[in-house]
Amino acid sequence: MGILRLPDLATFMKSSEFYSKLFLVMLTAVLVLTACDSALDGSVSTESTSGLVKTIHPATLTAISAAAGEKLTPEPVPLGIPWSDLNGLEINFWYIWDLDEPGTGMNAIVDRFNLENEWGIRVTPYDHGVTHDPMESIETAINEGLVPHIMVIDALVISSWYQAGLTVDLAPYLSDQAAGMPIKEQNDYYSGIFEPFILPDDIRPGLPFTQSIQVMYYNQTWAVELGFSQAPGSSSDLIDQVCSAAEGLKENQAQAGGIILYPEAANIISWVYAYNGYLQDQNDGSYQFSSPELIKVARDWQELSRDKCGFIISQYPDPMARDIEFTKFNQRLTLVVMNSAQYLEQVHLQANQTGRADDWTMLPFLGPDGKKAVAAEIQSGVIFNTTPVEQLAAWLFLKYLTSPEVQAEWVEYSYSYPTRKESLRFLRDFRAENPDWAKGLNILKYAQTQPLEPSWEVVRQAVGDAFEQLLMEDYPGPVELLAELDLTAEELRTFIGDQ
């Protein structure tokens, strides 16, 4: 059994002194807190409560209370509008979608927002896609003074609406402390879509909702049979493969070749982006079609045409061009077609018309140094110029609509592609069930938006017309024609009023 040893006197005295001091500190704290509580309920006594602790003067307690109050941060108010002003607010939401089943998916999304949003906002959806010409219907309504609070529309028109004063700049909403979008969430957008989606002076006319990308459909089974074990990695690789495919078609088939050179602006600018080019001057926004990169693209197209490696569908722009392209693709009359990923189902449905089990995929456009790029067509959310509180309510719904979860849900209805990377996390099952659609996912990171200026709607037609001329037999080099295109584009830009 061990021996119990008592501490020596010095140790005991030191311990006693420590505990005495600790007791006094604790007693002081208790008395101060008691005094503060009394001060708050107006019952402070000026008499001493102890021989050791004096009562804190009421003026000191008031100062302490005020200092404590200053540390309580008030709830931020969004854009100067009290949150309570949103309660019971009703806003109208327009969109364009399915002629056959209008509103099935979008109405479900809106219904859930109405049920779950914490502000008491109610959104009423209206699908303009049920009309023969939805854009004409919308323009007519706007001209008659009927505008929604919020709309999802092709990005092609949003800059002209902003310049006309119909819609608002979303930059202040994005940066608002209470209702904005944190930088981390902004960075979740694909950079080639979000960063350039602005007008001069950093004005954001809309927020990207969904996208459709322009791609190259590529018959990889046929390419392997031609001796190419891998998909092309650069523009020179692509030219080699399409010329090889065209070689076996020259004698036997008319209107056949390695690639269909359809002179649509979305195809052309995808090549320009891949060749490290730009369509506009980075400072003043003027079009730059006579740049070295675009001249290189034009010369490559001419050479493909002259060498019979590529061909143009007769009577461009043929309204049946897409059907003709995909028919030729699935009949092995061309190795590559350039078109929107929106039409991948047409490729799938028409596949294997030769009796062979051809496997195809989607590729980005390729530059001389291997750079990859695709032009994207964006559907964007815009907020119309109404009242500040209605605009705030519309912004809160737009934030919800463009969230990764809701974008993923809309993909399952629309088969479009999301504009936010995080959306893919919610699409794992959908990807497995839709392998054709999933072929485009690795290309999204190469997407770049098309120009937002109002003039682009007309200028892009001039681009297509110019490249059609370039593909005419014995047409001279592209330098002079592209210089003329610069002048034409600038005249259109000035007339329409981009500047």
338 and 414 assigned to the same domain = no
What pLDDT was estimated at residue 140? 85
339 and 462 assigned to the same domain = yes
pLDDT tens digits for range 170-183: 999 999 999 999 99
233 and 298 assigned to the same domain = yes
What pLDDT was estimated at residue 350? 66
* pLDDT bracket for residue 348 (50, 70, 90): confident
Q: Which residue has the higher pLDDT, 420 or 355?
A: 420
Taking residue 429's Cβ as centre, other Cβ atoms within 10 Å add up to 9
Instruction: Let me know if residue 37 belongs to a domain.
Output: no
Pairwise CA distance, residues 241 & 236, whole Å = 9
Lowest mean pLDDT across 100-114, 365-379, 401-415? 100-114
Looking at the structure of the chain, the number of domains it has is 2
114 and 161 assigned to the same domain = yes
The parent domain of residue 130 ranges over: 79-212+377-448
Instruction: Let me know if residue 263 belongs to a domain.
Output: yes
What pLDDT was estimated at residue 249? 83
What pLDDT was estimated at residue 54? 37
What pLDDT was estimated at residue 91? 97
Please, what is the end-to-end C-alpha distance for the chain in angstroms? 98
Q: What percent of the chain has pLDDT over 90?
A: 62
Instruction: Let me know if residue 4 belongs to a domain.
Output: no
What pLDDT was estimated at residue 343? 87
Query: Beta strands 122-127 and 310-311: pairing type?
Result: unpaired
Instruction: Let me know if residue 49 belongs to a domain.
Output: no
Calculate the alpha carbon distances from 159 to 145, 172, 395, 497, 498 in Å. 19, 17, 18, 11, 9
User: Does 316 have pLDDT greater than 90?
Assistant: no
Instruction: Let me know if residue 21 belongs to a domain.
Output: no
168 and 233 assigned to the same domain = no
CA dihedral 325, 330, 331, 337 (to 10 degrees): 40
Residues 16, 21, 22, 24, CA torsion sign: positive
367 and 277 assigned to the same domain = yes
* pLDDT bracket for residue 72 (50, 70, 90): low
Residues 6+ positions from 270 with CB-CB distance below 8 Å: 214, 338, 365, 373, 374, 375
Residues 6+ positions from 490 with CB-CB distance below 8 Å: 286, 287
pLDDT tens digits for range 226-275: 999 999 999 999 999 999 999 988 766 667 899 999 999 999 999 999 99
What pLDDT was estimated at residue 473? 80
What pLDDT was estimated at residue 55? 42
pLDDT tens digits for range 270-291: 999 999 999 988 778 889 999 9
Instruction: Let me know if residue 45 belongs to a domain.
Output: no
User: Does 222 have pLDDT greater than 80?
Assistant: yes
pLDDT, mean of residues 98-104: 61
Instruction: Let me know if residue 64 belongs to a domain.
Output: no
Give yes or no for a contact between 273 and 447, defined as CB atoms under 8 angstroms apart. no
148 and 292 assigned to the same domain = no
218 and 363 assigned to the same domain = yes
433 and 473 assigned to the same domain = no
Q: Give the phi and the psi of residue 365 in degrees, each rounded to 5.
A: -75, 150
pLDDT, mean of residues 198-227: 95
pLDDT tens digits for range 439-491: 999 999 999 999 998 899 899 999 999 999 999 888 888 999 999 999 999 99
Instruction: Let me know if residue 27 belongs to a domain.
Output: no
The pTM score is 0.81
Strand, helix or coil for residue 286: coil
- Helices in 387-454 by DSSP H: which ranges? 388-401, 404-414, 428-433, 435-438
* pLDDT bracket for residue 499 (50, 70, 90): low
> Which among 82, 107, 196, 147 has a CA at the least distance from the CA of 383?
147
353 and 224 assigned to the same domain = yes
- CATH number for the domain spanning 381: value is 3.40.190.10
* pLDDT bracket for residue 51 (50, 70, 90): very low
106 and 219 assigned to the same domain = no
270 and 122 assigned to the same domain = no
